[in-house]
Structure 1
Amino acid sequence: MTKDKNNEVPITGLYDDEGKIFNEAQGENLDATDEVGEEEATEVSLSQEELHALCLESVCPECDVFKEAEGIRLRALADAENVKKRLFRENEEMKKYAGESVLADLLPVLDNLDLALAHTGNLDDACKNFVIGVDMTRKLFLDAVKGHGLVVVPVAVGNDFDPEVHEAVGTVQEPELADNQIAQIIQGGYLLKGRLIRPAKVMVNKA
């Protein structure tokens, strides 16, 4: 019996879409070609930013791209260091003056004690102990707030007027005082760790 060659099926062969026979080795080559094509497609799909980043990672130190990247890195480090120092200063200042608002609210208490002591003239002996008690209370109060950095602004009649720590509320003419000297103290001023929280209110002499 005669064999029909058209009906023969190769044992190890395969047909492609056109009916042509190709072996496994050819199939492997096609697969390899497909993989290479995919890799090439992946490389081509990289954006300009990604290519630039890859270049920055592998360029030589003398390349302009490397110098540009190094400059950007150094500027970023400098900016980060400046921010760190600024935050540290702000944190230290916040801790230093954390009690300013509380101490400022206590100033009227000191003002009332000063006012009470300013009107102690011509008192009889029965009131002297009361005045001594008020004076001691004021001193204890000042010692307590001094422990938190609050001190009285230096001021006295006859001192030169200092606009940095004094506030002029009016002028007077006192022959015994020179021009621009303090003639009267209206209200005491206070400093908190070197920072003025309230100037001393005074009358200034104008010759």
Structure 2
Amino acid sequence: MSGKKDKVEMAEEESIATKTEEASENEISLSEEELKALCREHVCPACDVMGEAKEERLRALADAENVKKRLARETDELKKFAAESILSDLLPILDNLDLALDHAQNLEACKDFVMGVDMTRKMFLDTVAKHGLESVGKAGDEFDPNFHEAMGVEQVADLPDGSIAQMMQRGYVLKGRVIRPAKVMVNKLD
């Protein structure tokens, strides 16, 4: 039996070899443009496979565009608030300059000193304002929990109810973002 199998297998191998030789003799050489044209002719534009491939390509392009936009937004945000930590570290210096001015304001002997501290404070405020830092809240303004932190209530007759009666500590905003809320006393009329 093994002899018959060997003969059959040999005949099949010869047949395959013959077909391969014939195919290589009949090979047609096509340029790349001709090959692309043939492919376009044989692919049906309404074919599901082509439609799915097109949708997948469009989704990939949309995802790439979304990633590009998100990275641009994050980069802009990073640039906009890059100085936030440094400016928030400088706020105690402004607080101390304000305290020095408040305590020495009525001392006649320290008039030149007060003027120097005031000039330094103004220069400091001008410098940080160039980077987008602004102070928020002053007595008489309406209390806004987005920018103010209520420390208590006071009763001041000439101020409207719900307004700031007294500033305990200045608040600061960097380009619209609260760095430190202002600590205030809120006017409460009975």
C-alpha separation in 1, matches of 2:90 and 2:179: 12
Gaps of 5+ in 1: 1-16, 19-26, 37-54
Give the C-alpha shift of residue 168 in structure 1: 0.9
Which residue is equivalent to 2:163?
181
Preserved contact between residue 165 and residue 189 of structure 1 (Cα < 8 Å): yes
Matched pairs, number = 162
C-alpha separation in 2, matches of 1:75 and 1:182: 53
Which residue is equivalent to 2:92?
108
Pairing partner for 1:117 from 101, 108, 132:
101
Which residue is equivalent to 2:25?
none
Distance 1:30 1:168, change over 3 A: closer
Identity %: 63
C-alpha separation in 2, matches of 1:144 and 1:117: 19
Gaps of 5+ in 2: 1-5, 8-12, 23-38
Preserved contact between residue 135 and residue 170 of structure 2 (Cα < 8 Å): yes
Distance 1:202 1:30, change over 3 A: closer
1:86 aligns with 2:70: yes
Alignment of 1:1-207 (within 5 A): 31-33=17-19, 59-124=43-108, 126-153=109-136, 155-207=137-189
If asked which structure has higher relative contact order (CA below 8 Å, sep 6+), I would say: 2
Preserved contact between residue 167 and residue 185 of structure 2 (Cα < 8 Å): yes
Preserved contact between residue 59 and residue 65 of structure 1 (Cα < 8 Å): no
C-alpha separation in 2, matches of 1:134 and 1:104: 21
Distance 1:30 1:99, change over 3 A: closer
Q: Greater share of helix residues, 1 or 2?
A: 2
Look at both structures and tell me which one has the larger radius of gyration over its CA atoms. Answer: 1
Distance 1:110 1:35, change over 3 A: farther
When the two structures are superposed, what TM-score results if normalisation uses the length of structure 2? 0.77
Computed over aligned residues only, the root mean square deviation of the Cα atoms, in angstroms, reads 2.5
